[in-house]
Amino acid sequence: MIRLVALACGFFCGIGLTVSGLYRPAALQNFLNPADIWDPTLGLALIAAVIVAAIVLALTRRHSPPLLGGKMEPVAVESGWKPMIGGVLFGLGWGLAGYFPLAAFVSLGHFAPGAAVFLASVLGGMIVCDVFAKRGQPRHGGGRSRG
Amino acid sequence: MFETLGPALLGGAVIGVTLAVLALLTGRVVSGSRMIGSLLGGPEGPAASSMAFIAGLFIAPIVLIAFGYLKQVPAEAGLPLIAVGGVLVGIGARLGGSSLFGGIGGLARGSRQVLPGMFAMLLGVALASVLVFALGAGGFT
């Protein structure tokens, strides 16, 4: 059941990313480019997402634990300097590539070749990070062949 | 610029509902990097529901295309730049446990813990835009 819910949420999230245009690498570039043609899509869509999610969570009084079992995943898994460095690297990579992981999955559904390259690179980056951090041996990277 | 306003708000609202529903029912955070991370055996959550979520993301545009909603492959940066960016995103997400939508979900839950990561991300994006400008490597609009 949890998997079914995850599938449905993934589907609707993909619809939302597509309809809003957030999946396009150009969404970030146009947002950062006020001189030329400023396109507020990125900011508006993200703000709308935060507000709507906050309203729904507030109305339902944030059931904890989750209704289908399991436990609430923490929103911040690291603390101290790691989120800062990680955030800068993430933002840098996002700005250079134009993709963030969710957008790349949706763009893969649009058969965009760069999205496959991006996802393979993300996986590679994570594996590199794991190797250096010795966070345990990563499992076989099945995602590499995707797309 | 105003023709994208309605779809942006509508799409954002749909995303917001999925963030809330996934959190309420399964407790999971909608975040591409965490989903990928959990496939690598990270502590983020069960790999099976990550795969299901990713499958949903992948299917959505295909269904929309089948119904004639969309027509185009998005314009992209050059593949080498995308590869470099992807590695940076991977390292950043794994190191900091932060991601764009992880932060969005955190804000919606009223968490202040995600703020440093989000501000750092803005800084990174600003750095990237300076770099892209300096390299003259942009222009995928």
Contact A100 B100 (CB under 8 A): yes
| pLDDT value at residue B97 | 81
A68 neighbors B33 (Cβ within 8 angstroms): no
Chain B residues near residue A99 by CB distance under 8 angstroms: 82, 85-86, 89
Residue of A nearest to B135 (CA): A96
Chain B residues near residue A45 by CB distance under 8 angstroms: 8-9, 11-12, 15
Q: Would you say residue A143 has pLDDT above 60?
A: no
DSSP assignments along chain B, one per residue: -GGGHHHHHHHHHHHHHHHHHHHHHH-----HHHHHHHHTT-SSS-HHHHHHHHHHHHHHHHHHHHTT----PPP---HHHHHHHHHHHHHHHHHH---HHHHHHHHHTT-STTHHHHHHHHHHHHHHHHHHHHHT-----
* Mean pLDDT of the region A124-135: 83
Largest CA distance in chain A: 49
Q: Which of A15, A24, A104 sits opposite B60 (nearest CB)?
A: A15
Residues of chain B with pLDDT under 70: 1-3, 42-45, 70-71, 136-141
* Mean pLDDT of the region A137-145: 43
Residue in the block written with tokens 């992981």: A101
* Mean pLDDT of the region A9-38: 83
Look over chain A and give the mean of its residue pLDDT values, rounded to a whole number. Answer: 82
Helix axes A82-97, B115-135, angle to 10 degrees: 40
| pLDDT value at residue A63 | 56
A46 touches chain B (CB under 8 A): yes
Q: Would you say residue A18 has pLDDT above 50?
A: yes
What's the CA gap between A94 and B87, in Å, rounded? 10
| pLDDT value at residue A137 | 47
